[in-house]
Structure 1
C-alpha cells in the first residue's frame, strides 16, 4: 500500500473522530448549562448570573444546531427550547424576552417532532410549561389593554394546559364575554365551577348567559348551585328572585324571600319585593300592606314602597266601593291620599303619583286640587 495513501486515510479518520467529538462536546456543554441553571434556580441566584449560564448553553446548542449531524438530534432542540423559554420568562428586556419566546416556541415544535422515543420528555415538558407561563403574562397584558381577542387566544391555551386553575378559566370566560363568544364563555365558566370555584360572580355571569339564550331553567339551576355555596348572598339572591318572578314561579320566589328576610330583617329591597309579590301575584293585600310598612320602618322615605302601599289602599278602596261599604271606602281613600302626598313630597316629578292624586281628589270633589295638579302635569 502506498505510504502517503495510508497517512491520508489515517488523517481523515482522525479528523472525523475529532469532528464527532466536537459535535458531542457542544451538546455536552449545553447539557452542563442546563444542570448549572437548575442548580442556580434552586439556590435562588440572581437573574444576571442565570442569564450568563443560559448564554453559554445557547451558544453551544446553536453550534450543535448548525452542525449537519447534531442538527437533527432531539437533544439539540429540547435543550434550546428549555433554555430559550427560561430567558423569555426572566429577561426584563421585553424585546429580548419576546425574541426568545419565539425561538423557544419554534424549538419546542421541532423537539416534539424529533423526540420519537420521548427520551427528552422532561426538558420538553419544562419548556412547554415556561412557554405557557409566558403566554399567560402576555394574555394578561393584552386583557389590561382591552385587547380581548388576543387575550382570549392566549389565555385559552393556558387554561387548556392548566385546566384545574379556576382563576385562569374565569379570565378566559371574561375575555370570551367581551368578544361576545358566549358559548366559549360558558365552557370556561363551567370549567371553573366544576373545579370548585365559589365566587358568586361566576354563577351570576353563567345565569345571565343562560337567561339571554332563553334557557331559563338552566339559569335558575346555576343560581341555585351558587346559593348552595354562598347562602343568602344578596346579589345571587336578588338575581334568583327576579328570575323566578320573570318565569312566574311566584310561590317559590315567596319562599326564597321569606328565608332571606329572616336573616336580613332590615333589607328594604327584599321587603319591597316580598310586598310586591304578595300584592301583584298572590292576591294578598293585607300581607303586602304589612310588608311595605316594614320596608318604610327601615327607610321612611322609600318612594317605591310608599307608592305601592298607596296602590294597595286604592285597590282596597275600589273593592269597598263594589261592596258598597262607604265607611271603608273613605278610610282607604284617606290612607291612599296621605301616603301619596308623602311620596309626592319625596319625588315631586313622578307623573304616576300625581295622576293617582288627581283621581283621589276627583272622587273627593276637590276640584281646586285637581286643577293644581293638572297644571303641574302640563309643565312636564
Structure 2
C-alpha cells in the first residue's frame, strides 16, 4: 500500500499558531487535530490513538460546517476532507471506513468549489491522495470478488491519478479486459509498457489483444519488445514462434528457433517445432534429427513420435518415387523405422486415429493383413 499523504510538521505548527482565529473556535480545534495527528504518526501511536484524534477533529469540523459563518470557508471543508480521508484508510471497520470515504469525497467537492484562491490546496491535495488510496483498496476488493466493472471504474480513476504506477496500470487493464473492453485494456497495458515495465505477461497481453483485433504486425512487435526486455523467456518465445507460424512467416520462425536453441538446448517443444518446419520444407532428414533431439529429452513425447514416423514414411515415399520399387534397402529401412516410431506413439495414445491409419498403410505395404485387420477393427471402435 502507498504511504498516506502527510504534511510537513513545521507547516502545521505555523498554521495552527495563526492568531486570526480564536483558540476556542470549533475550526481551531479541527486545525489542532491535524497537528496532533501529525505528531501521533511521528510517534508511531496506534490506530486507536489516531482515531481518537481524528474523531475529535471531525466532530469540530462538522460543528464548523454547521456554523453560519464558517460553513462558507473552504478551510472548514478542506480539514474535514483530510481528516475523513485519513479515517477511511486506517479504520479497520469496513462500514465505518466506507462511510468516511464517502464523507471525504463530499467534503473535497465542497472545498474545491469554495477555495477560489487555492489557499487550502495542500489539504485538498492530501485528501484527494488519501481518497485514491482507498479507491485502490476498494478496486482490488471488487476485482477479487469478480466485480470487474466496479473494479475497472475504481482502478481507472486511481491509475489516472498515479499514471506512472505500472502495477496499477496493469490491474486496470486486466479489469478492462475482463469486461471485454479491449481498447481500454490496451490503453492501460500500453501505459504500463511506456513506464518501463518488463513483466513478460504484459507483452503477452498486448500481443493477445492486437491478435484479437487482427493487427498481427503489432502483435508480433509487442512480443519482440517483450523478448528484448526478457531475453529467451520461454513463454514469450513460444508465443512469438506460434504467431510467426500463424502469420505464415516460416523463414523467420526457423531463424528464431535456431537462435533460441543455441541458448536453450533442452527445450523439446522448440526441437519439435523446428523439425515440423523443416518437414514442411521437405527436409525430412533435418526433421528426423530434430525430432530425435526432442525425444532424447522426453522419450514419450507423442507429437514428436508421430511426426518422426511420418517423416520416415515421407522419406520412404521419396525413395519409391526415385527407384520405382518397394524392395530397395533404403525404402525398407525407412518403413521399418516409421513402424517403430508409430507403434510407440500408438502405445502412448491408442485413440489417435491418424497414428492408426499410418500403421494400417505401413502394414498394407508389408502385406501384414492380420495387423491391418486388427487396426481397422480399432478404428471402428473409435
**Superposed pair shares fold, TM > 0.5:** yes
Higher helix proportion (structure 1 or 2): 1
1:355 counterpart (354, 357, 365): 357
Aligned mates of 2:250, 2:21 — CA distance in 1: 84
Residue 348 and residue 21 in structure 1: after superposition, are their counterparts in 2 closer, same or farther (change >3 A)?
Answer: closer
- Superposed, which structure 2 residues align to 1:114-125 within 5 Å? 114-125=114-125
SS of the equivalent of 1:92 reads coil
Q: Scaled by the length of structure 1, what TM-score is found?
A: 0.92
> Which residue of structure 1 aligns with residue 71 of structure 2?
71
Return the offset for 1:329: 2.3
> Which residue of structure 1 aligns with residue 259 of structure 2?
259
> Which residue of structure 1 aligns with residue 286 of structure 2?
287
2:305 counterpart of 1:306: yes
Return the offset for 1:25: 2.2
Residue 117 and residue 322 in structure 1: after superposition, are their counterparts in 2 closer, same or farther (change >3 A)?
Answer: same
Structure 1 gaps of 5+ residues are 1-19
Q: Is the 8 Å Cα contact of residues 148 and 178 (structure 1) preserved in structure 2?
A: yes
Q: Is the 8 Å Cα contact of residues 139 and 151 (structure 2) preserved in structure 1?
A: yes
Aligned mates of 1:347, 1:59 — CA distance in 2: 74
2:241 counterpart of 1:237: no
Return the offset for 1:288: 0.6
Aligned mates of 2:92, 2:341 — CA distance in 1: 68
Aligned mates of 1:100, 1:233 — CA distance in 2: 46
Q: Which moved more, 1:21-30 or 1:62-71?
A: 21-30
Aligned mates of 2:24, 2:162 — CA distance in 1: 36
2:323 counterpart of 1:321: no
> Which residue of structure 1 aligns with residue 37 of structure 2?
37
SS of the equivalent of 1:263 reads coil
Q: Which moved more, 1:194-203 or 1:341-350?
A: 341-350
Aligned mates of 2:93, 2:301 — CA distance in 1: 58
> Which residue of structure 1 aligns with residue 273 of structure 2?
273
Q: Which moved more, 1:106-115 or 1:86-95?
A: 86-95
Equivalenced residue count is: 360
Q: Is the 8 Å Cα contact of residues 23 and 29 (structure 2) preserved in structure 1?
A: no
Q: Which moved more, 1:160-169 or 1:51-60?
A: 51-60
Return the offset for 1:237: 0.4
Structure 2 gaps of 5+ residues are 1-19
Q: Is the 8 Å Cα contact of residues 88 and 101 (structure 1) preserved in structure 2?
A: yes
Q: Is the 8 Å Cα contact of residues 23 and 70 (structure 1) preserved in structure 2?
A: no
> Which residue of structure 2 aligns with residue 162 of structure 1?
162
Aligned mates of 2:252, 2:229 — CA distance in 1: 19
Return the offset for 1:26: 2.1
Return the offset for 1:36: 1.1
RMSD: 1.5
> Which residue of structure 2 aligns with residue 343 of structure 1?
345
> Which residue of structure 1 aligns with residue 367 of structure 2?
365
> Which residue of structure 1 aligns with residue 334 of structure 2?
332
> Which residue of structure 1 aligns with residue 96 of structure 2?
96
Aligned mates of 2:196, 2:42 — CA distance in 1: 32
> Which residue of structure 2 aligns with residue 204 of structure 1?
204
Return the offset for 1:21: 6.6
Aligned mates of 2:302, 2:100 — CA distance in 1: 63
SS of the equivalent of 1:68 reads coil
Residue 106 and residue 263 in structure 1: after superposition, are their counterparts in 2 closer, same or farther (change >3 A)?
Answer: same
> Which residue of structure 2 aligns with residue 227 of structure 1?
227
Q: Is the 8 Å Cα contact of residues 30 and 60 (structure 1) preserved in structure 2?
A: yes
Return the offset for 1:106: 0.2
Q: Is the 8 Å Cα contact of residues 245 and 253 (structure 2) preserved in structure 1?
A: yes
What is the CA deviation profile of residues 1-57 of structure 1, one whole-angstrom value per residue up to 9, with x for unaligned ones?
xxxxxxxxxxxxxxxxxxx97798222221111111112112211111111211221
Q: Is the 8 Å Cα contact of residues 37 and 54 (structure 1) preserved in structure 2?
A: yes
> Which residue of structure 1 aligns with residue 7 of structure 2?
none
Return the offset for 1:331: 2.4
Q: Is the 8 Å Cα contact of residues 268 and 294 (structure 2) preserved in structure 1?
A: yes
Aligned mates of 1:345, 1:95 — CA distance in 2: 62
> Which residue of structure 2 aligns with residue 189 of structure 1?
189
* Larger Rg belongs to: 1
Q: Is the 8 Å Cα contact of residues 22 and 28 (structure 2) preserved in structure 1?
A: no
Return the offset for 1:283: 2.8
Q: Is the 8 Å Cα contact of residues 23 and 64 (structure 1) preserved in structure 2?
A: no
Q: Is the 8 Å Cα contact of residues 169 and 191 (structure 1) preserved in structure 2?
A: yes
